[in-house]
Structure 1
Amino acid sequence: MSAALTTRFTETFGVRHPIVQGGMQWVGRAELAAAVSSAGGLGMITALTQPTPKDLAAEIERCRRLTDRPFGVNLTILPAITPPPYDEYRRVIVDSGVTIVETAGSNPEPHMEMFRSHGVKIIHKCTSVRHARKAEKVGVDAVSIDGFECAGHPGEDDVPGLVLIPAATARLRIPVLASGGFADARGLVAALALGADGINMGSRFMCTTESPIHDKVKQAIVDGDERGTQLIFRQLRNTARVAGNAVSREVVEILRDGGAFPDIAQLVAGSRGRKVFENGDLDAGIWTVGMVQGLIHDIPTCAELIDRIVTEAVSLIQNRLRAVTAEVPA
């Protein structure tokens, strides 16, 4: 049996390793979530990747056939002109017997009563200490705190993880997952040193054998570096970190020149981003990846990746850190 690290997170959520696969649109499907969970981490199905609640129920059942380990469902709540039927997605999660949910986007409070009454544990994704404290107050079981390095939406405060993570862990009583910029054992050990109880990885899990995206996208991440991302929607106060490509650069230029959302709506349509992952055309639309791509150099299986991270983390803790000499004044 491989090495293991026990933290408050692993004990609370019943997983072997303090490593979570982030919920990613178009990526968090059954095959990836099951592979992560089977390897001892916590895999996440992304609810809104499924076009209807009925499709989500089928995806949960597919994941259950692939693994007998705990897995969760990500439910991201964002403002929309025509919002998805969130109540129905919530009902499917409960009726399917899922016991772990990752909420993100808006305040999780409206979802708490249903989930808690059915024994569902909740991780809420935050980008600031104030939002994390609010989530703790309304009763979530853990928070995932996203530093500015992360893919997707890093918030508007621009605080990197090295500051944000210890700022959060110093003020929270519940388990904290460090998110944004994590890809290897060094990151896991650093997160633990900063007070976190585990790590949440998105981009790193995109580059695994079981990740359901085109091989050209995986190779682009491996070939990329930490400078290869673009911040879009800054002027709209809805900042998102995405891959730097022809589309994201055009979006930045339009908004910088005074454009409004209607001027870029067609460029940033989710259907175009989905084509990137399905067809491997890197300029078909915007697609998310974090600065951490500069630390991603291969495409292993989820089991190989998790085992490597945990084994090397244990070695770092037992050997590298003990090798540091500390002198204490008499």
Structure 2
Amino acid sequence: MALKTKFTETFGVEHPIVQGGMQWVGRAELVAAVANAGALGFITALTQPTPADLAKEIERCRELTDKPFGVNLTILPTINPPPYDEYRQVIVDSGIKIVETAGSNPAPHLPMFHDNGIKVLHKCTSVRHAVKAQSLGVDGISIDGFECAGHPGEDDIPGLVLIPAASAKIEIPMIASGGFADARGLVAALALGADGINMGSRFMCTVESAIHQNVKEAIVAGTELDTELIFRSLGNTARVASNTVSREVVQILKDGGQFEDVKDLVAGKRGVKVYEIGDLDAGIWSVGTSMGLINDIPTCGQLVSRMVSEAEQIISGRLANMIGAGEDEREAVLA
């Protein structure tokens, strides 16, 4: 069986589960495995050093799967801004049909993407931004709660409130992101009004994820308490793993420091070493509070299959039985 929603129908995937963009993580091996499992994976454009490298990564992914997959294009403040227009052109030229945008207003991207038959799923962290993106004409919304890894925005609204609040105002397909790692979260998101879920940390911790085994084992060993919020005072909050580097960054900024005082600590060239060599204190690396729900390192196929199966069991079993129990009790009272 499969869970059919507005999201699966609009974006042409089997299951309402997404592996969104993740810097240094969203590579062909993982994305193809997610696609082959019936979910939707996104190659992270800026993980690739150049637009030409992105073109090669897209081709490499196509060699590993014939299922739909997309590309994430995130625009955020960076020390050395990349050539966004060139990355966008590669996406179009490569025949990609689904793009995940994030980090800023998607309006500059929409004409080029839509003119080339590309559906745009826009990730945002507030109801107001979701409503704005919908009015601009995006094809779907990914609403990111405070629990998420990476950038949760500055409103600090968790998914339990954010998802239904957004659902009340969003008519296009909407998936929920932040804090999801298992079937219980999937069912909860659907109940709250979402049409599916996005998972980052959970997909990081799979066999096909091309990051060092030490990182995966750290996620399994970690709890929901093992993250730090950095850049709070700079208005660009990011949730990352708690380690010697992130704790130092928090303290420097707490003491009145500015970005110049921490830029070397948070540089991407340091963070990527965590994933490459497995030194968990080499730099900052992103992970969400869902780390507290991750207890194994399955293949993507095992993970997606398990989640869908367990979600169906929860919906048709435990929840359905609650309705039945209520009817039996009412009948007993009336008798």
What TM-score does the superposition give when structure 1 sets the normalisation length?
Answer: 0.98
Which residue in 2 is equivalent to 1:74?
72
- Could you report, residue by residue, the CA deviation over 1:23-82 in whole angstroms, capped at 9, with x for unpaired residues? 000000000000000100001100000010000000000000000000000000113454
Which residue in 2 is equivalent to 1:116?
114
Q: Take 1:81 and 1:8, find their aligned partners in 2: how far apart are those partners?
A: 38
- Could you report, residue by residue, the CA deviation over 1:143-178 in whole angstroms, capped at 9, with x for unpaired residues? 100100000000000000000000001111001101
- Unaligned 5+ segments in structure 2 are none
Residue correspondence of structure 1 range 298-317 to structure 2 within 5 A: 298-317=296-315
What TM-score does the superposition give when structure 2 sets the normalisation length?
Answer: 0.96
Which residue in 1 is equivalent to 2:137?
139
1:152 aligns with 2:150: yes
Q: How many residues align?
A: 328
What displacement does 1:83 show? Answer: 1.9
Which residue in 2 is equivalent to 1:180?
178
Q: Take 2:259 and 2:239, find their aligned partners in 1: how far apart are those partners?
A: 17
1:210 aligns with 2:208: yes
1:89 aligns with 2:87: yes
Q: Take 1:10 and 1:303, find their aligned partners in 2: how far apart are those partners?
A: 17
RMSD over equivalenced CA pairs, Å:
1.1
Runs of 4 or more, structure 1, over 4 Å off, are 327-330
SS at match of 2:81: coil
* AA in 1 matched with 2:295: H
1:30 aligns with 2:23: no
1:272 aligns with 2:293: no
Q: Take 2:244 and 2:260, find their aligned partners in 1: how far apart are those partners?
A: 19
Which residue in 2 is equivalent to 1:57?
55
- Unaligned 5+ segments in structure 1 are none
SS at match of 2:308: helix
SS at match of 2:228: strand
Q: Take 1:272 and 1:163, find their aligned partners in 2: how far apart are those partners?
A: 35
SS at match of 1:322: helix
Which residue in 1 is equivalent to 2:255?
257
Q: Take 2:266 and 2:185, find their aligned partners in 1: how far apart are those partners?
A: 31
SS at match of 2:111: helix
Which residue in 2 is equivalent to 1:326?
326
Q: Percent identity?
A: 73
